[in-house]
Amino acid sequence: MTPELAGNLESRGVKGNFKFTDTASFRLFVEGMKGLRTYEQSAELEGLRTAETKLTKCVAQYPRDILPQFYLGVVKVFRGYDGVGDAVRVFGTIARDVPELRAPAMYNLASAYIERYTPESLDLARDWLKKCIAEVGEDKSVDRLTLRFQAEVVLLFYEIRQRLWVKRDNPQDALKAEVDHIVPDLDRKLNEFLEKLNATSKIPAAARADIMADYWNDRGLLDEFRAWSVPGENEKRALARTSIQSYEESLKWKLNWIPSKSNMARVNIDLLDDFVSADKCLQEVEHARPGDDYAAYLWGRLNEKTGDSAAATSYYEKAIHIPEAKKNLARLYEKDRREDAIGVWSKILAKHPDDKDALAAQARLSFPTPTPASGAQPKV
């Protein structure tokens, strides 16, 4: 095994004496890993395609070899929404059946669920991250310590997103508790995390780069919320630019990383009205992952803000599983497609009976209360 390949395994918390059926299986695996490494270093789509082709062939021909299955799951996560179902199945099986890979499989399960970008999937991601941290325990070996840092920094993303960022549209006078208490608390947690990471020399360089990319993405999200929470336009724009700087710092650690690129586009659209910069970011996301669902949602936002409702509608339809896209689509439908609007709002209300936007739409459009979807909590 080459040092580069060994480093890639180590950076993902993979450790163990995993066998291959024969040299042909190992050769396919190595070819797939080279493609994956190319994609991670350059975001060139051809590398991801090579990785998927080689690893898929390896798994099909050698179904008992575990590492090709694990890394095919990694490739599926990089594919985005279309690959999530496959990734969840792969990592769920490995977490259940392969003790040596249980913790890294849990971490990658969380990564897969984040790609779905729904409240339910993000909660599942949080749960798997906590399971990963519990599985690692206090083990100080390189692979376990690496996984702990990787899981902890993504868990911080979840906290910032769910405790702050999702509330960004709330009236500013309703955000006093968040601004006074939660922002300082999460800022402190980020500082403590970075201090702890900097005091640790055992983390492999590739894994450290991934962790630092996540850290600065977390920082950007925190400052993005702060920008939403201030009343003055000058202060809002200054904090938005600080957020952009954090996302740019993230991209220094991980070239063309889709989450930070997408977040930069969102800040440029929603807070800075810099549609040229947003378009550039989204073009780069499209190059790295054609048909990305969250990018489609952001294209919708950009077109809606620049007055092209027809293009915005088309993009939102492509990203309809994303809650924000679904609501924006329903609002646009209200202009001239009332029944379609009612259909979308009804589906939201059936799944989330207390959703304030859907309830307001129900009052506005006067449609009956739908039967709650399976798993939804009925209104009382």
- 322 is a domain residue: no
Asked if residue 1 and residue 126 are part of one domain, the reply reads yes
Mean pLDDT of the region 252-270: 94
Which band of pLDDT confidence, cut at 50, 70 and 90, is reported for residue 14? confident
Structure pTM?
0.90
Residue 157: CB partners within 8 Å, gap ≥ 6? 214, 217, 218, 221
At 44 the pLDDT is 84
Domain that holds residue 110: 1-136
Asked if residue 132 and residue 51 are part of one domain, the reply reads yes
Mean pLDDT of the region 271-283: 97
Asked if residue 153 and residue 64 are part of one domain, the reply reads no
- 250 is a domain residue: yes
Asked if residue 90 and residue 11 are part of one domain, the reply reads yes
Which band of pLDDT confidence, cut at 50, 70 and 90, is reported for residue 374? low
At 4 the pLDDT is 58
Asked if residue 132 and residue 150 are part of one domain, the reply reads no
Which band of pLDDT confidence, cut at 50, 70 and 90, is reported for residue 314? very high
More confident residue, 3 or 297: 297
Residue 3 scores a pLDDT above 80: no
Residue 228: CB partners within 8 Å, gap ≥ 6? 168, 169, 236, 271
- 332 is a domain residue: no
Which of these three, 136, 167, 198, is where a domain ends? Answer: 136
Question: How far apart are alpha carbons 11 and 16 in whole angstroms?
Answer: 13
Q: pLDDT digits over 322-355, tens only?
A: 999 999 999 999 999 999 999 999 999 999 999 9
Asked if residue 157 and residue 92 are part of one domain, the reply reads no
Which band of pLDDT confidence, cut at 50, 70 and 90, is reported for residue 177? confident
Residue 306 scores a pLDDT above 70: yes
Asked if residue 193 and residue 64 are part of one domain, the reply reads no
Q: pLDDT digits over 225-239, tens only?
A: 999 999 899 999 999
Residue 357 scores a pLDDT above 70: yes
What angle do helix axes 142-163 and 183-198 make, rounded to 10 degrees? 160
Asked if residue 199 and residue 90 are part of one domain, the reply reads no
- 261 is a domain residue: no
Asked if residue 242 and residue 120 are part of one domain, the reply reads no
* CA distances in angstroms from 303 to 7, 72, 264, 272, listed in the order given: 43, 35, 16, 15
Asked if residue 118 and residue 17 are part of one domain, the reply reads yes
Residue 12 scores a pLDDT above 70: no
At 379 the pLDDT is 40
Mean pLDDT of the region 173-188: 93
Domain count for the chain, please give it: 2
Residue 267 scores a pLDDT above 50: yes
- 183 is a domain residue: yes
At 253 the pLDDT is 94
- 350 is a domain residue: no
Residue 8 scores a pLDDT above 60: no
What tokens does 318 get? 């492509």
- 304 is a domain residue: no
The span from the first CA to the last CA of the chain, in angstroms, equals: 61
Q: C-alpha angle 291/293/298, rounded to 5°? A: 105
At 378 the pLDDT is 38
Residue 366 scores a pLDDT above 80: yes
Which of these three, 106, 136, 166, is where a domain ends? Answer: 136
Asked if residue 100 and residue 31 are part of one domain, the reply reads yes
Asked if residue 129 and residue 1 are part of one domain, the reply reads yes
CATH number at residue 44: 1.25.40.10
Which of these three, 136, 170, 187, is where a domain ends? Answer: 136
Lowest-pLDDT choice from 123-127, 130-134, 210-214, 370-374? 370-374
Residue 171: CB partners within 8 Å, gap ≥ 6? none
- 73 is a domain residue: yes
